[in-house]
């Protein structure tokens, strides 16, 4: 709806009211995230405006062992999860996208299931299971559990790039004498790469942000960044947590930009007009 010149006064006022409502909702979405960024450089530990002075002391605190150790563990786990889930998820998406794959719908819903099941149920179920097989409090256990949660993202992202995949390209390559391996690496991979990368980013984030499963199956030895944040928020929220949150927000922004750029590149490569 646009405010046409011939619109009646009621329509016009409704139009502006609609805009106003929408801006308020958008503000509700974005303001909380932006509002805490300046507070992370506040010199005192109050969370109010106007701020009394600027200081980087809370960021200094992030550089201490407690946070750094957690960050390293989180990164280690998230990177392992990303590698594992991207490999598994991409293969599965390639198989699923083949025409007349048997029981496609059923298999797909099964693979997406970890995304749908409430994470606290997954956490409890995995906890009981690991208690039996002795995987509790181990990196292996945590990485495997996070991988189950992360693979649906990869499957969905890679499947999305394969929906519009033109199989005559691979047939043409094969017809020109390319062996299957080089067809895959020279034709298929470059085209699905954007999907793989955004799937991998989602998978990374899924593990890097995950706290519930970690709370159940990890010991203090595997204390991840979200676990530190969780206990911090629960006890007494400190500016250090806000500083860490700010770092994570900047991290999200850069990831979002990467995915957006990849999406545009993929659309350009495949000749899809920006819709």
Partner 1 sequence: MATMTVQIAGSPDGMPLRIKLQQVERWRKLKAFTLVLPLLLFILVAFVLPIGRMMFNAIHDETLLTLMPQTSAALSVWDGKDLPDERVYAALAKDLKQAWAQKITGMIAKRINYELPGAGGQVTSSARKAITLSAGPYKAALIEISPLWGQRDVWSLLKRGHSAYTAYYLLRSVDYQYGPESQIVASPPESAFFRNVFLRTLGISISVTAATLLLGFPVAYLLATLPPKTSNLLMIMIVLPFWTSLLVRTTAWVVLLQDHGIVNDVLMALHVTSQPVELIFNRVGTMVAMTHIQLPFTLLPIYSVMKTIPTTHVRAARSLGAGPFYAFWKVYFPQTLPGVAAGCLLTFILCLGYYVTPELVGGATDQMVGHFVALYTNEDLNWGMASALGAILLTATLLLYYVFNKLVGVDRLKMG
48's torsion region: left (phi>0), alpha (psi -120 to 50) or beta?
A: beta
How far is Cα of residue 155 from the mean position of the Cα atoms in its chain? 13
Peptide bond into 50 cis (omega under 30): yes
In 219-238, where does DSSP find H-type helix? 225-235
**Total chain residues near partner 1 (CB under 8 A):** 93
- In the complex, minimum distance from the CB of residue 177 to partner 1, in angstroms, rounded to a whole number: 20
Q: How far is the CB of 117 from partner 1 (least distance, A)?
A: 6
Confirm or reject binding of residue 118 to partner 1 (CB under 8 A): yes
Phi, psi of 67, rounded to the nearest 5 degrees:
-80, -40
The string of DSSP codes covering 140-209 is HHHHHHHHHHHHHHHHHHHHHHHHT--HHHHHHHHHTT--HHHHIIIIIHHHHHHHHHHHHHHHHHHHHT
Q: How far is the CB of 241 from partner 1 (least distance, A)?
A: 6
Among 116, 134, 177, 181, binds partner 1 (CB under 8 A): 116
Binding status of residue 76 toward partner 1 by CB under 8 A: no
Q: Which is nearer to partner 1, 8 or 54 (CB)?
A: 8
Contacts with partner 1 in 169-188 (CB under 8 A)? none
Q: Of the ranges 15-23, 55-63, 72-80, 169-177, which one interacts with partner 1 (CB under 8 A)?
A: 15-23
Q: Which listed range, 51-59, 71-79, 96-104, 186-194, lies at the site for partner 1 (CB under 8 A)?
A: 96-104
Determine which residue in the list 59, 76, 129, 184 makes contact with partner 1, applying CB under 8 A.
129
Q: How many CA atoms lie within 13 A of 40 on its CB side?
A: 20
127 lies in the binding site for partner 1 (CB under 8 A): yes
3-state secondary structure of 223: coil
Could you tell me the smallest distance in angstroms from the CB atom of residue 65 to partner 1?
21
Which range touches partner 1 (CB under 8 A), out of 41-49, 66-74, 75-83, 184-192? 41-49
CA–CA separation, 50 and 42 (whole Å) = 10
Please report whether residue 259 would count as binding partner 1 according to CB under 8 A: yes
Residue of 153, 162, 197, 203 interacting with partner 1 (CB under 8 A): 153
Could you give the 3-state DSSP secondary structure of residue 42?
strand
Q: Which is nearer to partner 1, 173 or 195 (CB)?
A: 195
Considering just the CA atoms, what is the radius of gyration of the chain in Å? Answer: 24
| Residues in region 196-255 near partner 1 by CB under 8 A | 202, 205, 208-209, 211-212, 216, 226, 229-230, 233-234, 237, 241-242, 245, 248-249, 252-253, 255
């Amino acid at each position: 709806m646009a405010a046409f010149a011939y619109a009646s006064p009621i329509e016009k006022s409704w139009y502006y009211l609609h805009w106003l409502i929408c801006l308020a909702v958008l503000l509700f979405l974005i303001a909380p995230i932006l509002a805490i960024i300046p507070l992370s450089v506040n010199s005192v530990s109050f969370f109010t405006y106007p701020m009394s002075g600027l200081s980087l002391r809370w960021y200094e605190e992030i550089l201490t062992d407690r946070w750094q150790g957690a960050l390293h563990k989180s990164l280690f786990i998230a990177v392992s999860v990303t590698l594992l889930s991207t490999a598994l998820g991409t293969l599965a998406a390639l198989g699923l996208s083949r025409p007349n794959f048997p029981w496609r719908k059923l298999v797909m819903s099964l693979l997406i299931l970890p995304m749908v099941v409430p994470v606290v149920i997954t956490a409890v179920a995995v906890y009981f299971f690991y208690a039996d097989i002795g995987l509790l409090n181990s990196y292996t256990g945590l990485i495997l559990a996070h991988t189950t949660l992360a693979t649906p993202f990869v499957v969905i992202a890679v499947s999305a790039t394969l929906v519009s995949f033109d199989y005559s390209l691979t047939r043409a390559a094969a017809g020109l004498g390319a062996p299957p391996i080089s067809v895959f690496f020279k034709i298929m991979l470059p085209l699905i790469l954007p999907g793989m990368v955004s799937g991998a980013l989602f998978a990374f984030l899924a593990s890097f942000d995950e706290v519930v499963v970690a709370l159940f199956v990890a010991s203090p030895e595997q204390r991840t960044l979200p676990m530190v944040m969780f206990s911090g928020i629960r006890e007494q929220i400190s500016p250090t947590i806000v500083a860490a949150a700010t770092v994570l927000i900047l991290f999200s922004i850069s990831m979002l930009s990467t995915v957006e750029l990849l999406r545009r590149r993929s659309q350009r490569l495949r000749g899809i007009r920006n819709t």
